[in-house]
Structure 1
Amino acid sequence: MLRTMRLKMPASISHPVRLLPLTFFALIVLGTLLLLLPVAREGAGSPSFMAAFFTSASAVTVTGLATVDTSSYWSPTGQGIILVLVEIGGLGIIALATILGLFIGGRLGLRTRLVAQADMHVVNIGEVRPLFKRVAFTMLFFQTVTAIVLTLRYRGAYFSDLPTAIWHGVFDAVMAFNNAGFSLNRDSLVGYAGDGLIIIPISIAVFVGAIGFPVLAELFQEWRRPAQWTIHTRLTVWGSFGLLFVGAAAFLLLEWNNPNTLGGGGFGHKLVTGIEGGIMPRSGGLNSFDWGEVRPETLNIGVILMFIGGGSASTAGGIKITTFLLLAYVIWAELRGDPEIRIGSRSIGPRVVRTAITIALLAVMLVTVTTFLVMLMTDFDFDEVLFECTSAFATVGLSTGITPDLPANAQIVIIVLMFLGRVGTIAAAGALVLRRRIPRYHLPEEQPIIG
């Protein structure tokens, strides 16, 4: 009798925390190979390696930065590959594998659930299976609704044939919900500037996609009883609406009379674009105006919004809204002299605070170092490079227009930033340090002078 031989992975590689970034990297490599096929390139000739590698990394990390024009460089086949990579990257390659396992085998292995838990930030391992089902349904529902709305508008006002309208509607819906910035138009959404029937549905899809799947699942059950929401859901929901209001108000105030952005439009045009300006920097990546033409103050607001990002376990990047608000509570408690961090009727443990501080400091370090490196490699201004690096780390996809002009070494830096921004700073760091050491003794305590 022949026995089935099983290949056993080394424990250091198969550890869930390390397997997560390795899986995403493998998907990037696979996407690169597919995009290198001659059929993926529009016209004669094969795609360049750097164009395929950068595009694949940007798609898998649901960023949207591009060194080549998606509408003219890639063929419909290449554009379809990008769409599939974005869809898989948004769902999470581990989540997709788990859902397939549910439908085929009906059961989850412990290691698979642990990896999925690390990817989706689920607290209770027993919640993984039902959560993945909600994830699949939620993505399909919102993308379908958005695609139908966009297709109807595209067919009625912009495209004469239905297949083109459907393709643009589906592509934009997938990009919007997954918070990716790829577009079938050379100028993204500029051709639809001020059209609320396009900009608003896309903005809503971006906003919902950036909320996070655990929060959406809880809202589905408890949306009528906000008092029953968990602290995580409260911080994410109210924080997201707060940043939307602040971002939109700041954008309207700063760009109201700028002839290159809002100055030439009417009140409705400005209002629609203002809502977009408050949502897209959080991780959307699509734009109906040129971010290279905004005021320096607006560019700085965009950097701040991108750095904060969206909700945990969402298609958004950044340090996440919960991390940002938790640090605000830490500062407030320290200023008041409170012995513990309290949010509502709950206290926050020191380990959570340490994690939030670590994420924020790692993010600041990565963006600072990479901004410095890209400035050494190029001649672009500081504000442009900072915006680009923050957009890459936060997997946003917005750009002032310098991405196609970056040299190959600077493109590698951006790819690394997009990768780390997708898998998460903690997951990337945890992949290098697999075990937490438990001290056998405690050293004497000492308090150095702070400040």
Structure 2
Amino acid sequence: MRLSPTRRPVLLIPLAFLVVSLIGTGLLALPIATAEPGGAPMITALFTAVSAVCVTGLIVQDTAVYWSFFGQVVILILFQIGGLGIMSGATLLGLVVKKHLQLSSRLVAQQETQSLGLGDVAGILKLIILVTIGVEAALALILSAHLHLVYDEPLRTAIWNGVFHAVSAFNNAGFSTYSDSLMRFVTDPVVLLPMMFALILGGLGFPVLHELRPGQRHKPRTVHFKITVWGSAFLLASGALAILAYEWNNPSTMGDLEPGGKLLSALFHSATARTAGFNTLDVGEMEPQTLAVNYWLMFIGGGSAGTAGGIKVTTFFLLFFFIWAEIRGDTDTVAFGRRIASPLQRQAMTVVSLGFATVGVGTITLLSMTPFEFGEVLFEAISAFATVGLTTGITDQLPPSGQLVIIALMFIGRVGTTTFAASLALRSTTKHYRYPEERPIVG
């Protein structure tokens, strides 16, 4: 019997992202969406719409000069929708209209808020809106004032650039109305530090923010909270130290900056590499070791149920705890004084394995279509899958077939593995029989 989307709520997630992407493609294909007459080719409109909805930030045309004000507004709306999560927005709308949540809607929303119980969904959805509006408004005010007063941008231009970058930062979208992204602000802490705060906050995930509410401060923190916060702090610090070590004397990146500027740019890049996609340094000129560091930062990504992508911080560190328990010969896997449920091990391994497989297939496919080197193509594939948006500079040189591969990677990375993991949880069943056991040799 065929299951309808309402009976299989996880299917609504990719369907919703697909519908919004197609609507965005249609709007961006309109002649009014481009700065020059004639309109955008369909492949360009599709690539940009999917990149925006999936909050990736990879582009084949310069956002600042190719798209008109109308086109830029469409892009902003698309990555705002994508960042909030289609299902979170739909469930909130259900709250406003019906004053209550149906079970199916709660299950769908829980896909975007994995560590919460069904009874917490209404509160988290309200928090999503409040935090989003508050952070974006505050950041937009800071950026707009600074751009107008310090960089002498006309007030209207400063306000638009401030709003665009505020929304883009909190949603980890990586789109910019400047042709060089944020490279012109590489030593400006008034721009970079508030943006870094916003993208980290959005990337932590709303279950973490839910535990930071005033009424929750004295309650015991969940393992999800501890893994996400401490894991994110570790990745931020270790990534920044590695970038500093490898790029300190590189004249093409941070070699000519003062020590304070080097530290600021390293911290910002470490944060943005975990799915925000803004760049203050020329990624294409980075040392090979730095690019390798970026591979891991991008692939891991941010927190669950937030605006970040990747396999998620909790998935990566849970797998570490599982491996450590196996090495020690422990029967149970323990993290922060709590036993981790066995099914989570299979789910984490599945997500990581699917991530590696998706990136591997995408890389091999792109290598067969393009003349670029392996490192450049691998970087592009991971960036697309993890919805990061950083590039070594080859995105706009990809043939249409290569752009379609990147589109598929972005879409899968945003909804594919997460949806699959949720479907595993929903499909878990208890069998009333067991097959005979054998022990193949491992290792």
Same fold (TM over 0.5): yes
Partner residue, 1:53: 46
Q: Secondary structure at the match of 2:213?
A: helix
Structure 2 counterpart of 1:235, from 199, 206, 227: 227
Partners of 1:102 and 1:57 lie apart in 2 by 28
- Give the aligned residue type for 1:449: I
Structure 1 length-normalised TM: 0.94
Q: Distance in 2 between matches of 1:105 and 1:437?
A: 33
Change (3 A) 1:278 1:388: same
**Identity over aligned pairs, percent:** 47
Mapped partners of 2:409, 2:177: distance in 1: 24
Quick one: which of 79, 94, 99 aligns to 1:106? 99
CA contact (8 A) 2:111 2:422 kept: no
Closer/same/farther in 2, CA of residues 433 and 29 from structure 1, 3 Å limit: farther
Q: Which residue of 2 aligns with 1:320?
A: 312
SS of equivalent to 1:13: coil
Q: Within 5 Å, which residues of 2 pair with 1:294-373? A: 294-373=286-365
> Residues of 2 paired with 1:360 and 1:275: CA distance?
26
Amino acid at match of 1:260: S
- Match of residue 64 from structure 2: 71
Alignment of 1:34 with 2:5, yes or no, is no
Give unmatched runs, 5+ long, in structure 1.
Answer: 1-8
Q: Are residues 1:199 and 2:192 paired?
A: yes
**SS where residue 107 of structure 1 aligns?**
coil
Which residue does the alignment assign to 1:247? 239
The secondary structure found in structure 2 opposite 1:228 is: coil
Q: Which amino acid aligns with 2:307?
A: T
Name the SS of the counterpart of 2:339 in structure 1: strand
Pairwise CA distance, 1:122:
4.6
* In the alignment, structure 1 residue 283 sits paired with structure 2 residue 262: no
- Is contact 1:327–1:353 with CA below 8 Å preserved after alignment? yes
Q: Judge conservation of contact 1:21–1:428 (CA < 8 Å) in 2.
A: no
Query: Which whole-Å CA distance do the structure 2 matches of 1:196 and 1:259 have between them?
Result: 21
Q: Which runs of 5+ in 2 are unaligned?
A: none
- What's the counterpart of residue 439 of structure 2? 447
Note if contact 1:256-1:263 (Cα within 8 Å) is conserved in structure 2.
yes
* CA distance in 1 between partners of 2:348 and 2:426 (Å): 19
Equivalence for 1:393: 385
Code of the residue aligned with 1:99 in structure 2: it is: L
The answer to whether the 8 Å contact 2:115/2:224 transfers is: no
1:96 aligns with 2:84: no
Please say if residues 98 and 116 of structure 1, whose CA atoms lie closer than 8 Å, have aligned partners that are also in contact.
yes
- Hey, what's the Cα distance between the residues in 1 that align with 2:96 and 2:217? 32
Cα distance in 2 for residues equivalent to 1:438 and 1:353: 17
Structure 2 residue matching 1:287: 3-state secondary structure: coil
TM-score w.r.t. length of structure 2: 0.96
Residue 374 of structure 1: aligned partner: 366
- Measure, in 1, the Cα distance between the counterparts of 2:422 and 2:301: 21
Instruction: Give the C-alpha shift of residue 432 in structure 1.
Output: 11
- Take 2:349 and 2:4, find their aligned partners in 1: how far apart are those partners? 27
Q: Which residue among 219, 241, 247 is the counterpart of 2:212?
A: 219
**Distance in 2 between the 1:180 and 1:41 partners?**
20
Change (3 A) 1:426 1:269: closer
Kindly provide the amino acid, as one letter, of the partner of residue 329 in structure 2.
G
Report the equivalent of 2:148: 155
2:419 maps to 427
Please give the alpha-carbon distance, in whole angstroms, between the structure 2 residues aligned to 1:154 and 1:344: 44
Work out the CA distance in 1 between the residues paired with 2:116 and 2:217. 23
Given that 1:303 and 1:390 are in contact with CA atoms closer than 8 Å, whether structure 2 keeps it comes out as yes
Q: Deviations over 1:101-136 (max 9, x none)?
A: 222332222222221122332541111111100011
Residues 1:433 and 1:13: Cα distance change in structure 2 (over 3 Å) = farther
The residue that corresponds to 1:5 in the other structure is none
